[in-house]
Structures are given as structure tokens and as C-alpha cells.
Structure 1
Amino acid sequence: MRLIRPSGVYPPQDDTALLAEAVRREPGTAGGRVLDVGTGTGALALLAARCRAARVDAVDISPRAVATAWLNARLCRAPVRVRLGGLPDPATGGRFDVVLANPPYVPTPPSGLPPHARGRSFDAGPDGRAVLDDLCARAPSLLRPGGVLLIVQSALSGAGTTLERLRAQGLRTEVTARRVVPFGPVLRGRSTWLASRGLIAPGEDKEELVVIRAVRTAHAA
């Protein structure tokens, strides 16, 4: 897909591509209700629509991203509902067959300053889990029984922690895809700080991306 991507909106990258492969493999996408959290340009929401999801909702906290995703959906003539905000309230937004999430997950040095608009799409606190932990806690309430959550994140932000927290919520979880990619400009600029925290070895210049698949079981909240 050829998408409009203005400055300040997270562009589709390696993590988007890895999650897109999981979306194509996911049986519940076709004919299901899909939620794309942190939609950015809308790339994954549009893919779900192309996979013949019955309904696709896309949310983002960035007004610019929402406008971009809305425009891309119109240009692609895709029936995607786009709105401003974070995770929906199940009482009003219902539950979903598939939830997609490419959340901010980059470990971020504390600065004491308000987050920059551009950084909101990737900055996620000192451990990279500022958004991931909330998503893990709320996942069962977003999913129908048998529903699937697909998350892409960096191993730098604790894939094992994500697995543990989702399992603690009663979800059945597994890593379904891995890919090692070179650091982009953001991680290259933070490599000294990451090494000082023990998150990478000195001189390391690659990260592992993982896709985690979590299924809501009958025992989940």
C-alpha cells in the first residue's frame, strides 16, 4: 500500500512488517472485529480490512496520526473507523476478535521534560514498558472469548515480562515471530545510555523484534 505519512507520524518499519505477517496468518482476522491500537498511518488497520475483517476500528492518541489514518483509509476506500484516544472501554466499545498493537516500546532516558509529540510514538519510559504494562493488564477486557492479541515489541523492553504478565491475566501466550534488525537512528543515539543500563553490550548495534500472540481463554477476566 502507498500511504501518506506526514512528519510526526510513526512510519511503517520493520516492526510493522513483522506484525503484518502475523495479521495475514491470523484466522480470526477474516470475518472478525479487529482493533488496531496506536494505528499511526493506519497501515495495519488497512491490512486487516484487506483481509476481509467484518469491522476494523483504529485508535491513536495523536491527532495528526488519526487524521493521517483517516485520510489513508479514504484514499484506499477501506471501511476503517478511526478515532482519537487510547484503549477503548469495553462497556461502550465492545470486545474484539483480534487486537493489534505496535505500541511505544523504546527505553527512554528520563529528561524531566514533557514528552515531545514525535517521541510519543516510540518513547516508553526507562524500561520501555510504559504502555506495554497497561496493555497487558487490560487485554482480557478487550477480547472476546477465543479472541487474539498480537503485539510487536523489542526484546530490549522485556518480551519475557510481557509473556508473564499476559499469562497472569489468564491468556495463553507464545512468541510467534522473531527478527533481528539494525538499530535505527533513535536507538543509535541512545546506545551509550542503553549500555550503561545493561540493556545492550557495548558496541551492540542490533535489536531483536518479537511478535507475541495471546489468546483469551475461558478463565481470563
Structure 2
Amino acid sequence: MGSVNFLVPPGVYAPQEDTALLAGALSEEPLPPDAAVLDVGTGTGALALAAARRGARVTAVDVSWRAVCATRVNAARAGVPVRVRRGDLFAPVRGESFDLVLANPPYVPAPGGRRRPRGAARAWDAGDDGRLVLDRICREVPGLLRPGGVLLLVQSALSDPGRTVGLLRGAGLKAAVTRRRRIAFGPVVRGRERWLRQRGLLSLADDEEELVVVRAELPV
């Protein structure tokens, strides 16, 4: 994740295990010279900075003004250029195309149906099935990828990676789960563990959460 001591304002998602898992996938992904990279839902900008250090032209997007400001500060402190835009998912880059899209979206199932979360919870709460943002990414990302372009996305097994892969394949991309990591329940999952078990998203035997990286490529 580099040597930057990231500024993490209150309400901005701090780099965690999912960030590290996606950063590992990024480190092994070949990038064309002067690659155009989009980091959507950038948070502190950790992944955007990792891509910029490899010489990519990076755009970072977040719906949170605090995250936008944090990313700008962290990029300046790291001495790497990152274009930072505030907006909802892909809206700020409509009409552009990218060689690589990085996504660490909200993916934790949350009580309350399809109601949009507010405040800091926007970084993790994603509707009763965890797919409030994931389904939007699957629908919209094919239109942003250049031929041969790649999506690297991290999510929880609680929010149906099989559906993510299926939707991306249905849109004409080559998609598969390429990385997995089991982690201890974080405070969000632990706080709704009973509800998740009642929903059947966690079994009685589950005492860890599985994170996965989905890689999808638009054929040339």
C-alpha cells in the first residue's frame, strides 16, 4: 500500500483487508504504457495512489466530499498526480474510457430494504442483498472499458460473487473470481451477525467472512 501515512478523516473508509486484497490484484495486473485508470469509490485514495505510482493516468471518484479532499491531500503528500472528482459512481467520467477500473464498492447486506444509506454508512451498507451498488457497476462498467480493458472489483461472499460474475459475462466480458481471503468479522458484520444468520447469508458454523476479487476483461 506504499509508505504514505494516509489521512483518514471521520466518515471516510480507511484502508482495510479488502483494500489490501484489491491492491494485491492491482500489483499483478499488467498495465499498458500511460494507462488510463479509474478508481471508483476511492475513499482515502489508497488504490488510486498505487496505480499512479506505476505511471498510470489515474482518475479517482467518490460521492463523499471528505473522501475527495482526503484523496487530494494524500496524493499531494505522496507526490503523485491523481485527478479527483466528486460524484455518484461513474457520473463524473461519463463519456470517458479506461484501461483499468478499480472498485471497492459498498457490499455489506443491511436491514432496511433498498433504502440508500447516509453518512459514513455509504461506504459499506448496500441494501438487503448487498448489491445496491454492485449491480449498477455490472450494468455500467462495460461501457467504460476500452478493448482489452479490465475491471478489478472486491466484494464479500455475503453479496453473491456468482451474480457479479454472471452479470459481467452476460454483458460480454470474460469474468471470474481470481482471489479469495477469509477474515475475522469486522465491526459492521459483527453488529448484524444475527440478522445475517436469520437471512441465511451466514450459516451457524460461519465465524469468518470471505472476501473475493472479481476480474473481468472486455475482449479485444
User: Smaller-chain TM-score range?
Assistant: over 0.9
Aligned match of 1:44: 47
User: In 2, are the aligned partners of 1:97 and 1:148 still within 8 Å (CA)?
Assistant: yes
* Structure 2 unaligned regions, length at least 5: none
Q: Displacement of 1:194 after TM fit?
A: 0.1
Quote the residue 2:212 is aligned against.
210
TM-score between the two structures when normalised by the length of structure 2: 0.94
Work out the CA distance in 2 between the residues paired with 1:10 and 1:25: 24
1:156 corresponds in structure 2 to 158
Q: Does 1:13 align with 2:16?
A: yes
CA offsets 1:105-145 (integer angstroms, 9 cap, x no match): 00000179762301000000000000000000011101001
Matches within 5 A, 1:25-64: 25-28=28-31, 31-53=34-56, 55-64=57-66
1:129 alignment counterpart: 131
Q: How many residues align?
A: 217
2:136 match: secondary structure: helix
Residue 51 of structure 1 aligns to a residue whose secondary structure is coil
The CA RMSD over aligned residues, in Å, is 1.8
User: Residues 89 and 179 of structure 1: is their aligned pair in 2 closer, same or farther, counting only changes over 3 Å?
Assistant: same
Contact 2:49 2:82 in 1 (8 A): yes
Q: Percent identity?
A: 56
Shift of 1:51: 1.5
Which whole-Å CA distance do the structure 2 matches of 1:83 and 1:91 have between them?
Answer: 8
Partners of 1:110 and 1:3 in 2: CA distance = 32
- 1:1-221 aligned within 5 A: 1-28=4-31, 31-53=34-56, 55-88=57-90, 92-110=94-112, 115-202=117-204, 204-218=206-220
Distance of 1:129 and 1:39 partners within structure 2:
18
Q: Is the alpha carbon distance of 1:160 and 1:92 closer, same or farther for their aligned partners in structure 2, counting shifts above 3 Å?
A: closer
The alpha-carbon deviation at position 90 of structure 1 amounts to 9.1
For residues 115 and 201 of structure 2, the distance between their equivalents in structure 1, rounded to whole angstroms, comes to 23
- Partners of 1:194 and 1:38 lie apart in 2 by 25
Deviation of 1:93 (Å): 4.4
